[in-house]
């Protein structure tokens, strides 16, 4: 027997419709590529999203046709989020930090029909347009009078002229909530890039669960700054959850430096910001250097890669900003865990709380997880036993687009490629990426643990631990370090710094100082490239005893 409740599909259009109707005056503020600050409301965004939908109809785009973007976080990108998906097309957010050859490969693989791009990315589009065989329409996200006349891009049109010619009357269509809504390619380390193909249903459920008090805790009282790019797993879903809750949205545009982000936080009274550790490190450096204070910022969500403890401490202790450690993957829409406290933790000392905050957090409702051993057997949640982390849930992928790479699931679970522990309260902690774990003398050494100790040294700006082949121990860790400008630290001083902070056999055997550690398109350290850089590395004679196990 079926229930007798209204049949209403979970559609992305319902988010902007709700925001327009219930939060029509809610503000959306964007720093533009043009340099100025643009402000308008959810009502304006809704009207222009409907113009986008009409404009796409005007191009005779079919249901599920892909519309690609190469764009910063801003109001026009937001309109495309709702106009493209809401009208039944698939939003494909291209990552502009990829190599042009990769962009070409991805756009062709996705079979994009339209490409909308910020003017910052005109050089990329000039370089790739001739090779993107499926793109029929190029749209520059600018006013008609800013359109370059000599771009050589065939039929290039300005976004403002394009949507300006359209009516804002549009009835959002209803269709199966399992229809594809958007897609995002992962920066896979092996093989070709693979795309997660999100659905309206998965996006709505993710938005609901991610806005819960135990997750991102979003309400109509928040002013949210998504520093995480809208081309990076839909800015962790923030454009959707903001519309769902009527939160004020503040977009940084192309100005992603510490100073610009700080100024935007202060001028727009942002209380909640989200981004990857590298961005926060830049901002923290800016704030520390200038002796500045945050007057409204209350919490930051940090994800994308593990957050160094020193950063959490600095935000918490020096600036009164709560750091929410979060973890997820493109394949998870992306949120899997957020490290919010439970009732029992509230009376703990701040040191004890910090131990919890360092973990990646608890599964948000909808996501289940488990850790397994090499044979696939589930391991206990004791906070010590580590194993391969698997997840499942309604916003976790079942397959990659076009079946690329074969079925990723193992008996219904998605293997994350992370190694983790889970404690009795359900708090998960990544100990490493499976491929980065250092296997030394039959024991595992977490590269992240080794990095975090180095990161706590005042002279260290960035640190990467990699395993080097060793005839005796199989692998031994070395630490690759970028020094802070003007700081000095010697190899021996840094090795000494590990004393008492970890087991002797986990202390790296060597320090390699470099000018820069290669970062991927999403700001993560690229250890595969680092290993390539170090392919001629040879262990030097140890200057003190760090070899013995135990």
Residue ranges in 392-431 that form contacts with its own copies under rule CB under 8 A: 392-401, 412, 414, 424-426
**Footprint (CB under 8 A) of its own copies, residues 294-323:** none
Task: Say if CB 340 and CB 383 are below 8 A apart.
Answer: no
Active site residue 411: no
CB of 306 to its own copies, least distance (A): 21
Peptide bond connecting 58 to the previous residue in cis, omega within 30 degrees of 0: no
CB of 204 to its own copies, least distance (A): 9
The 10 Å Cβ neighbour count of residue 118 is 24
**Footprint (CB under 8 A) of its own copies, residues 218-247:** 218-223, 244-247
Q: Which of 12, 13, 16, 23 binds its own copies (CB under 8 A)?
A: 23
Active site residue 488: no
Active-site pick, 27, 111, 136, 186: 186
**Footprint (CB under 8 A) of its own copies, residues 340-369:** 340-344, 346, 362-363, 365, 368
The stretch near its own copies (CB under 8 A) out of 2-10, 132-140, 256-264, 311-319 is: 2-10
The strand pair at 361-363 and 335-338 is best described as antiparallel
Alpha carbon distance 101, 108 (integer Å): 11
Alpha carbon distance 52, 57 (integer Å): 9
Q: Which of 44, 57, 214, 474 binds its own copies (CB under 8 A)?
A: 214
Measured N-to-C along each axis, helices 42-58 and 13-22 cross at an angle, to the nearest 10 degrees, of 140
Active site residue 331: yes
CB of 455 to its own copies, least distance (A): 30
Measured N-to-C along each axis, helices 75-86 and 13-22 cross at an angle, to the nearest 10 degrees, of 120
Rule CB under 8 A: say whether 196 interacts with its own copies. Answer: yes
Q: Which of 117, 158, 303 is nearest to 227 (CA)?
A: 303
Rounded alpha-carbon distances, angstroms, from residue 470 to 435, 473, 480, 512, 532: 17, 6, 17, 17, 17
**Chain centroid, CA 86 distance in Å:** 23
Of 68 and 196, CB closest to its own copies:
196
The DSSP output letter for 506 is G
Rule CB under 8 A: say whether 41 interacts with its own copies. Answer: no
Rule CB under 8 A: say whether 202 interacts with its own copies. Answer: yes
Alpha carbon distance 389, 380 (integer Å): 12
The stretch near its own copies (CB under 8 A) out of 16-24, 131-139, 154-162, 437-445 is: 16-24
Rule CB under 8 A: say whether 112 interacts with its own copies. Answer: no
CB of 341 to its own copies, least distance (A): 6
CB of 412 to its own copies, least distance (A): 8
Of 31 and 362, CB closest to its own copies:
362
Cα torsion 44, 50, 53, 58 to 10°: value is: -100
Mark 68-97 with x for binding to its own copies (rule: CB under 8 A) and - for no binding.
----------------------x-------
Residues 6+ apart with CB under 8 A from 513: 480, 481, 482, 483, 491
The stretch near its own copies (CB under 8 A) out of 18-26, 452-460, 517-525, 542-550 is: 18-26
Which uninterrupted H or E stretch holds 271? none
The stretch near its own copies (CB under 8 A) out of 166-174, 208-216, 285-293, 350-358 is: 208-216
Rule CB under 8 A: say whether 200 interacts with its own copies. Answer: yes
**Footprint (CB under 8 A) of its own copies, residues 462-521:** none
Contacts with its own copies by CB under 8 A: the residue count is: 77
Task: Say if CB 155 and CB 179 are below 8 A apart.
Answer: no
The stretch near its own copies (CB under 8 A) out of 161-169, 217-225, 293-301, 307-315 is: 217-225
Task: Say if CB 24 and CB 41 are below 8 A apart.
Answer: yes
The stretch near its own copies (CB under 8 A) out of 72-80, 142-150, 284-292, 339-347 is: 339-347
The strand pair at 37-41 and 27-31 is best described as antiparallel
Of 401 and 498, CB closest to its own copies:
401
CB of 14 to its own copies, least distance (A): 8
**Chain centroid, CA 259 distance in Å:** 21
Give the 3-state secondary structure of 21-79.
HHCCCCEEEEECCCCCEEEEEHHHHHHHHHHHHHHHHHCCCCCCCEEEEECCCCHHHHH
**Footprint (CB under 8 A) of its own copies, residues 375-394:** 392-394
Task: Say if CB 106 and CB 193 are below 8 A apart.
Answer: yes
Active-site pick, 331, 413, 431, 483: 331
Task: Say if CB 408 and CB 331 are below 8 A apart.
Answer: yes
CB of 26 to its own copies, least distance (A): 8
Q: Which of 101, 143, 152, 176 binds its own copies (CB under 8 A)?
A: 176
Active-site pick, 444, 484, 502, 524: 444
Of 244 and 466, CB closest to its own copies:
244
Task: Say if CB 473 and CB 549 are below 8 A apart.
Answer: yes
Which uninterrupted H or E stretch holds 197? strand 194-199
Q: Which of 35, 191, 213, 471 binds its own copies (CB under 8 A)?
A: 213
Task: Say if CB 262 and CB 285 are below 8 A apart.
Answer: no
Q: Which of 209, 335, 466, 478 binds its own copies (CB under 8 A)?
A: 209
Active site residue 186: yes
Any idea which residues carry the catalytic annotation? 186, 331, 439, 444
């Amino acid at each position: 027997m079926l229930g007798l409740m209204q049949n209403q599909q979970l559609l992305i259009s319902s988010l902007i419709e709700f925001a327009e109707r219930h939060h029509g005056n809610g503000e959306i503020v964007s720093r533009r590529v043009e340099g100025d600050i643009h402000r308008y409301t959810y009502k304006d965004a809704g009207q222009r999203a409907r113009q986008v939908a009409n404009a796409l109809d005007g191009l005779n785009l079919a249901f599920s046709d892909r519309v690609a973007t190469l764009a910063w976080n801003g109001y026009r990108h937001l309109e495309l989020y709702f106009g493209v998906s809401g009208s039944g097309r698939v939003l494909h957010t291209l990552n502009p930090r990829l190599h042009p050859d990769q962009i070409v490969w991805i756009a062709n693989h996705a079979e994009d029909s339209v490409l909308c791009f910020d003017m910052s990315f005109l050089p990329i589009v000039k370089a790739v347009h001739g090779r993107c065989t499926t793109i029929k329409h190029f749209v520059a996200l600018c006013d008609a009078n800013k359109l370059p006349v000599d771009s050589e891009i065939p039929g290039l049109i300005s976004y403002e002229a394009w949507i300006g010619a359209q009516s804002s009357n549009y009835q959002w269509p209803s269709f199966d909530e399992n229809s594809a809504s958007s897609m995002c390619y992962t920066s896979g380390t092996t093989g070709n890039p693979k795309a997660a193909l999100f659905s309206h249903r998965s996006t709505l459920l993710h938005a609901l669960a991610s806005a819960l008090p135990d997750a991102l805790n979003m309400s109509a009282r928040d002013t949210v700054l998504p520093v995480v790019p809208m081309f990076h797993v839909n800015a962790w879903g923030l454009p959707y959850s903001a519309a769902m809750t009527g939160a004020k949205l503040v977009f940084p545009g192309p100005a992603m430096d510490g100073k610009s982000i700080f100024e935007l936080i202060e001028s727009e009274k942002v209380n909640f910001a989200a981004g990857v550790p590298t961005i926060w490190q830049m901002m923290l450096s800016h704030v520390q250097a200038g002796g500045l204070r945050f007057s409204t910022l209350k919490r930051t969500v940090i994800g994308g890669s593990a957050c160094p403890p020193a950063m959490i401490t600095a935000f918490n202790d020096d600036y009164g900003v709560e750091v929410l450690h979060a973890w997820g993957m493109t394949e998870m829409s992306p949120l899997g865990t957020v490290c919010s406290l439970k009732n029992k933790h509230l009376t703990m000392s701040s040191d004890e709380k910090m131990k919890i905050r360092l973990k990646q957090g608890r599964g948000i409702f909808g996501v289940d997880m488990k850790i397994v051993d090499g044979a696939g057997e589930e391991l206990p949640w004791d906070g010590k036993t580590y194993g391969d982390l698997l997840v499942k849930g309604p916003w976790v992928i079942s397959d990659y687009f076009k079946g690329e790479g074969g079925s990723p699931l193992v008996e219904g679970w998605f293997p994350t490629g992370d190694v983790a522990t889970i404690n009795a309260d359900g708090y998960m902690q990544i100990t490493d990426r499976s491929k980065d774990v250092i296997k030394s003398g039959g024991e595992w050494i977490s590269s992240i643990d080794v990095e975090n100790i180095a990161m706590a040294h005042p002279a260290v700006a960035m640190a990467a631990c990699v395993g080097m082949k060793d005839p005796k121990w199989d692998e031994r860790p070395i630490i690759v370090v970028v020094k802070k400008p003007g700081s000095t630290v010697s190899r021996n001083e840094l090795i000494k710094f590990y004393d008492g902070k970890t087991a002797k056999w986990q202390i790296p055997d060597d320090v390699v100082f470099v000018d820069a550690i290669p970062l991927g398109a999403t700001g993560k350290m690229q250890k595969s490239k680092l290993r390539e850089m170090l392919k001629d590395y040879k262990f030097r004679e140890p200057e003190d005893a760090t070899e013995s196990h135990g």
